[in-house]
Amino acid sequence: MGGLLGVAISVIFIFVWFRPILKRQKESGGYVDKKQKITALVLGLIPASVALLACEILLAFVFKSIGVYKNEYLKAFLHAFIMYAFIEEAVKFLFSYLVIRRFERLKKIDIMIIFGFVGMGYEIAETFFNNNLFAGIMRGIFIAHIMYQFIMGHFFYESIHAKNNGDAVLSKKNMFFCFAVPMLIHGVNDFLVGLVSIFGVHLADIKDEQTLNLNAAIFFICFIMIAVINVFCLIWGLKLAKKDPEVEVVIK
C-alpha cells in the first residue's frame, strides 16, 4: 500500500514540477521528441531497476559474508553511499548516456530532460517496490531522483560545452562534478533516511527517559535535514533547468 501511495504522489508532483520544464523544452525547439522521452523513461523503469536490484542482492551477500551487517549504522552508511549513491547514480548515468549518444547535437534542456526521464522511471520503480511510505512520500513530493538527475545532467552539459570550446581541464572538472555532486547529495540523504529508520524502530524499546529524549532528538534532526536536502535539490534542479536552456552542444 505504501508503494502505491508513493507512486501516486510521485505522479502528481511529477506533473506539477516537471510539466513547466517540458513546456520550456518544447518552446525552445528541443531535439528530444516524445519517442526518446519514453525510451529514457522505460530505460529507467526496467533495465536500470533490474541492474540495481541485482547489484543490491550481490552487495547484500558480500556485506553479510564479511560481517558488516552486525553494525546497523555501518550497514546504513554502506547502503547509502555505495549502493544508493555510487552504483545507482552510475547506472542511471549509463542509461541516460545511451539515449544522449544517439544525437549529433542537443540543447541543454534536452540533456536535462533525458536525465530526468531516466530518473523518473527509476523513481517510480523504486517507490513501488520499496513499499516504504515515508521514503515514498518524500521522494514523491520533491521528485528526488529526477532532481538528482537534473543536477547530473547540468554538469554533463557543462562538461560537453567546455569540451566543444576546447577547454579540456574544465570539461574534466565538470564531468567529475557530474558524478560527485549527485552521489554526495544522494548518499547523505539516504544515510539520514537510514538513521531515521534505525532510531524510529528503537524508540519504542527504550525505557530510560534521558536516552529516549536523546534518540528522539536525533530522529527529528535527521528528519528535518532530509527535508532541507530535498527542498534544496528541488529548488536547485528547477533553477538549473532555467539557465541557458537553448544553448546547443555537439555530442559527437
For 116-158, what is each residue's pLDDT tens digit? Answer: 999 999 888 888 877 666 777 777 788 888 999 999 999 999 9
Question: How many residues can be counted in the chain?
Answer: 252
Please state, as a whole number, how many other Cβ atoms lie within 10 Å of the Cβ of residue 21: 20
Say which residue, 32 or 205, is predicted with more confidence: 32
Closest CA to 245 of 147, 110, 116, 152: 110
**Short-list 170, 171, 149, 152, CA closest to 160:** 171
Q: How much of the chain is in helix, strand and coil states, percent to nearest 5? A: 85, 0, 15
Any idea which of 55-59, 181-185, 208-212 has the lowest mean pLDDT? 208-212
The mean-pLDDT minimum among 61-75, 104-118, 143-157 falls in: 61-75
The predicted structure's pLDDT at residue 128 = 80
Query: Is 67 or 224 the better-scoring residue by pLDDT?
Result: 224
Which of 199, 200, 188 has the alpha carbon at shortest distance from 225? 188
Q: Is residue 223 within 8 Å of residue 182, measured between CB atoms?
A: no
Instruction: Give the model's confidence band at 52: pLDDT under 50 very low, under 70 low, under 90 confident, else very high.
Output: confident
Are the C-beta atoms of residues 153 and 96 closer than 8 Å to each other? yes
Give the domain range for residue 162.
2-250
67 or 229, which is more confident? 229
Write the CB contacts of 22 (distance below 8 Å, at least 6 apart in sequence).
113
Number of domains in the chain: 1
pTM of the model: 0.91
The grid coordinates listed for 113 are 530532460
Residues 187-192 have a mean pLDDT of 93
Q: CB–CB of 107/247 below 8 Å?
A: yes
pLDDT at 252: 76
